[in-house]
Amino acid sequence: MISTAQFKNGTHIEVDGKIYRIMEFQHVKPGKGGAFVRSKLRRVEDGSVIDKTFRAGEKFRPVRTETRKMQYLYDSGDAKVFMDTSSYDQIELGADVTGEEMQWVRPNDEVEVLLVDEQPAGIQIPSAVDLEVTETQPGLKGDTASGGGTKPATLETGVTIEVPLFIDEGERVRVDTRSGAYVSRA
């Protein structure tokens, strides 16, 4: 069992038969009355976030989590197909599991699939990826690195980001996957 004193961000616990991931928590010890823990929890099955308060010392069943390296193969309509790189088993994951992270993943890229009690619960991708610019307006004379300004560019995965004026089609750029911002040339 895991108690409120052992809470850590990212830990999975079971509350009322549902599995939640601890987003953040705060131990509160008021001057009068017993201590308690305020927490923000994300439900694994649908991603909804709730605020919940627990008494200090309350115990929960810890949920076993693991990550497996899998290769993204292709999009099969409403699901994405992944292959376990160690056993070559293929699984289909819906958009509710893969989420927004798939906009940065190309076919044949490796990702880590998070498994909660042996069920896929999400994917983890690197914090930065290198992608090729497939479409952008041409740079104009005088566009320099210090000139400032940005323009929209479509990347090979289909997502559009803002890049500096000097970036041309065919170049590879590094993108921060957490913010979707241009970092540098790759």
pLDDT in tens, 107-159: 888 888 888 777 787 788 888 889 999 888 886 655 555 556 788 899 988 88
Total length of the chain? 186
What is the rounded distance in angstroms from the CA atom of residue 54 to the CA atom of residue 181? 38
Q: Residue 6 is which amino acid?
A: Q
**Report field, pTM of the whole predicted structure over 0.75:** no
Task: Identify the weakest region by mean pLDDT among 39-48, 78-87, 103-112.
Answer: 39-48
> Tokens 């693991």 appear where?
66
Q: At the top level of CATH, which class does the domain 65-124 belong to?
A: mainly beta
Identify which of 139, 127, 129, 128 has the alpha carbon closest to the alpha carbon of residue 163.
Answer: 139
Ranges for all domains in the chain classified under CATH 2.40.50.140: 65-124, 128-185
Q: Which fold has domain 2-62?
A: SH3 type barrels. (2.30.30)
The gap from C-alpha 143 to its chain's centroid, in whole angstroms, comes to 34
Assign a CATH topology to domain 128-185: OB fold (Dihydrolipoamide Acetyltransferase, E2P) (2.40.50)
Measured CA to CA, the distance from residue 173 to residue 186 in angstroms comes to 5
**pLDDT confidence of residue 91:** 87
Of 42, 40, 39, 36, the closest CA to residue 21 belongs to 42
